[in-house]
Amino acid sequence: MVCYPASTAESTVATDKQLAALEPTKWRPGQSGNPAGRRPNRPLTQAYDEILRSPVPEAERKAMRLAPGVTWAQAIAQSKVRQACRHTGNSVPAAKEMRESVEGKSVQRIELSGERSVQVNVVFDDPPPAKRRKPLDAIDADVIDQPLIEDTPPKPEDQS
């Protein structure tokens, strides 16, 4: 029996029949109380996503000497590649950012030295799942074959 507080000073006791009626609506272990989940409401992230997937406007595309149809995401990636290839103070951070976004952060290596030897055994009950990336041959050939940079420099606009 379960006791629930009543509106008066006395307690109301639930009967077995009343508890049995509640059984179908009872949460089960591992069951979410909100199976659909909270809907994501990230307007800024959605706005960034829409802009990055959209093509660069013609005037800006020509000024940046990019190929027709290039998206903002491709333009930013191309800019980061150019920055990484320059021999300036910003080239190393740019190259590091690109490597980490493709390969993940590098693992820190620890070297032990001294007279004592230490043996470390790592045992996994269940090995971690391997990260799988989409192979390059599975990526749409049109995307790979499309140049990001125009071969010809932009023509000067008529100033008349």
Q: What angle (nearest 5°) sits at the alpha carbon of residue 35, between those of residues 31 and 41? A: 140
Residue 7 pLDDT more than 70?
no
Which has more pLDDT, 137 or 73? 73
Domain borders along the chain are 53-103
For the residues 40-69, what does the mean pLDDT come to? 90
- Of the candidates 57, 102, 59, the residue with the CA atom closest to the CA atom of residue 77: 102
**Residue 123: how many CB atoms within 10 A of its CB?**
4
pLDDT score for 9? 46
Look at residue 11 and tell me whether its pLDDT is greater than 60.
no
pLDDT at residue 45, as a whole number: 87
pLDDT at 140: 54
